[in-house]
Amino acid sequence: MKKITVTGKTVESAVEHALDRLNATRDGVRITVLQKPSRGFLGLIGNRKAQVEVELLATPTDEAVRFLQNVLPRMGLEAVEMDVNKASSHVLINFTGEDLGILIGRRGQTLDALQYLTNVVANRNTHPYTRFILDAEGYRERRRRTLEEVADRVAKKVIRTKQSTVLDPMSPMERKIIHSRIQKYPHLTTYSEGEEPQRKVVVALKDNRSN
């Protein structure tokens, strides 16, 4: 991380000057006082200014990008590029390039696992928590549309047969999409059962949940 050494009449003024140069705030830096100010003989000879070293700390986004840059080559994904976009509630990292099928995995399982690890690594030494979402050339949106279509088909089946339906195991993010979609059907409800990673969504009639 970038670090600079700055002098000033006081420690405080030196720190403020360093923060201005780094365009940073105190919670984003590490400050080391190298030398405190002192007055020389008779206040005239040998005056020493304060000297501080101020180092920019790695942000969660820095940690996430560094982690992914190390992991992707080990997965054989040398020709993959990352585009980082910060939103108000999360940071989206979108991958483009070759062999994205390997990165996505079956039903997005590899992408989900990599997203989980990225969130763990990026937030282990930082505060506040930053949520990272990994995507690959619009896979998340395509998968969302597919899941909504599945939810619609299952909803119609449950209404027609009056029997509950259990879906295949899904990640928490995908289960949330199903729960949200079924809310448009006033006579249906959803709930999850089982343990991760085999947790499943059940779609049922509101007055027939036990079926």
* pLDDT tens readout for residues 58-75: 889 999 999 999 999 999
Contacts of 139 (CB under 8 A, 6+ apart): 100, 104, 108, 111
* DSSP code for 106: G
Q: Give the range with max mean pLDDT: 36-40, 45-49, 119-123.
A: 119-123
The answer to whether domain 3-56 has CATH 3.30.30 is: yes
Q: What is the mean pLDDT of residues 161-165?
A: 96
Query: Does residue 41 surpass a pLDDT of 60?
Result: no
The number of residues in the chain equals 211
The pLDDT value recorded for residue 125 is 78
All CATH 3.30.1370.50 domain ranges in the chain, comma separated: 142-205
All CATH 3.30.300.20 domain ranges in the chain, comma separated: 60-137
Confidence category of residue 211, pLDDT binned at 50, 70, 90:
very low
The pLDDT value recorded for residue 43 is 57
Query: Does residue 204 surpass a pLDDT of 90?
Result: yes
CB-CB contact of 7 with 49 (8 Å): yes
Q: What is the mean pLDDT of residues 162-187?
A: 96
Q: Give all strands (DSSP E) within the chain, no chain letters.
A: 3-8, 29-35, 50-56, 80-86, 91-97, 132-136, 165-166, 188-193, 200-205
Question: Quick one: 142-205 is in which CATH superfamily?
Answer: R3H-like domain (3.30.1370.50)
Mean pLDDT estimate for the chain: 90
The pLDDT value recorded for residue 40 is 63
Domain spanning 60-137, CATH architecture = 2-Layer Sandwich (3.30)
The closest alpha carbon to 187, from 167, 208, 201, belongs to 208
Query: Helix (H, G, I), strand (E, B), or coil: what is residue 39?
Result: coil
**Which of 206-209's residues contact partners 24+ apart within 8 Å by CB, and which partners?**
208/162, 208/164, 209/164
Contacts of 69 (CB under 8 A, 6+ apart): 82
> Can you say whether the dihedral through the CA atoms of 64, 102, 82, 171 is positive or negative?
negative
pTM for the model stands at 0.71
The pLDDT value recorded for residue 89 is 92
Query: Does residue 30 surpass a pLDDT of 90?
Result: no
All CATH 3.30.30 domain ranges in the chain, comma separated: 3-56
Q: What is the mean pLDDT of residues 31-41?
A: 83
* pLDDT tens readout for residues 69-127: 999 999 999 889 999 999 999 999 999 998 899 999 998 999 999 999 999 999 987 77
Contacts of 130 (CB under 8 A, 6+ apart): 59, 60, 61, 64, 90, 91, 122, 123
The pLDDT value recorded for residue 79 is 86
CB-CB contact of 165 with 154 (8 Å): yes
Confidence category of residue 56, pLDDT binned at 50, 70, 90:
confident
What is the spatial distance between Cα 32 and Cα 55, in angstroms, rounded to a whole number? 8
